[in-house]
Structure 1
Amino acid sequence: MNRRKSRETAMKLLFEMSINKEKYEDIIENFKENTDVDLNDLDMSYITKVLAGIHENGKDIDKNIEKYLIKWKLARLSKMNLAILRISTYEILYEEEIPNRVSVNEGIELAKKYGEDSSPAFINGILAKMI
């Protein structure tokens, strides 16, 4: 199982949740039924734990992110950057076995792959202040 691929999948599903306004359980079931990705390559328990954790602790996670936004509001962030920040923040706050620097680095890598040109520096700035 590949943690980076699992984190990337969790980010995509979280992004999908923000657009479709569906429950994480439904998003995960739909993904399992309709994906071309080999599910053996993914840690589905990690993906479920992250999405459930963000769902359950969303207000606290968003408050933590917003604390470090300077002259920005969550609503102004792109949905992709917000999904990356939520996953990284969840890991920093609630996943003790994942080192903070790993969560920050993985967030930056996702931003490089899926964000705008300024996303990696933006994500790094927020998460670096957080830790």
Structure 2
Amino acid sequence: MNRKKSRELAMKLLFQMTINKQDFDDTIEALGESSSLKDIDMDYLKRVVNGIENNKNILDERIQKYLKNWKLNRISKIDITILRICCYEFLYEEDIPKNVSINEAVELGKIYGEDKSASFINGVLGNMIKDINKE
């Protein structure tokens, strides 16, 4: 199982859910049993996607706290999806090192985001991790 691929698929599913206004069950059901899922950690995928949907308000409040001169609704859908995944991992996935979460988020930003997405994501998460480490 590949956590990196699983995280990337989680991002795609969450983005799809946002754009298509789908719920968790419909999105997971539509995934089916594709052969492209052979390296995916389905437990992680389901836990993260469902966890983000169930805790979206908590995650968004936490993210908003670290946005300087920005509002959540002004951030691209892909960037906010990436931030939610990393924030969720910070708060609820104790077995994932925080620096790994940040690095993976930045890489997703480079691949799927706009030109400045990676540095924006890194800045938000860098400030967030400083406070989380103090807690």
Q: 5+ unaligned residues in a row in structure 1: which ranges?
A: none
1:42-61 equivalences under 5 Å are 42-61=40-59
Matches within 5 A, 1:77-116: 77-116=75-114
The 4+ residue runs of structure 1 with deviation greater than 6 A are none
Cα deviation, residue 62, structure 1? 0.3
- How far 1:40 moved relative to its partner? 1.5
How many aligned residue pairs are there? Answer: 129
Counterpart residue number, 2:128: 130
Q: CA-atom RMSD, angstroms?
A: 1.0
1:22 partner SS:
coil
* Alpha-carbon contact 1:32-1:39 (below 8 Å) kept: no
Q: Does the 8 Å CA contact 1:11/1:84 hold for their aligned counterparts?
A: yes
Alpha-carbon deviation of 1:96? 0.6
CA distance in 1, matches of 2:36, 2:22: 23
Q: CA deviation at 1:29?
A: 1.1
- State the percentage of identical aligned residues: 56
Match of 2:133 in 1: none
Give the Cα–Cα distance (whole angstroms) in 1 for the partners of residues 56 and 72 of structure 2.
Answer: 12
- Residue 115 of structure 2 corresponds to 117
Query: Normalising to structure 1: TM-score of the pair?
Result: 0.95
Unaligned ranges ≥5, structure 2: 130-135
Give the residue type in structure 1 aligned to 2:11: M
Q: Which amino acid aligns with 2:44?
A: Y
Question: Are residue 25 (structure 1) and residue 49 (structure 2) matched?
Answer: no
Q: Secondary structure at the match of 1:38?
A: helix
How far 1:39 sits from its partner (Å)?
A: 1.6
1:54-113, CA deviations, whole angstroms, 9 ceiling, x for partnerless residues? 011111100000000011111001000011000010001111110111110000010011
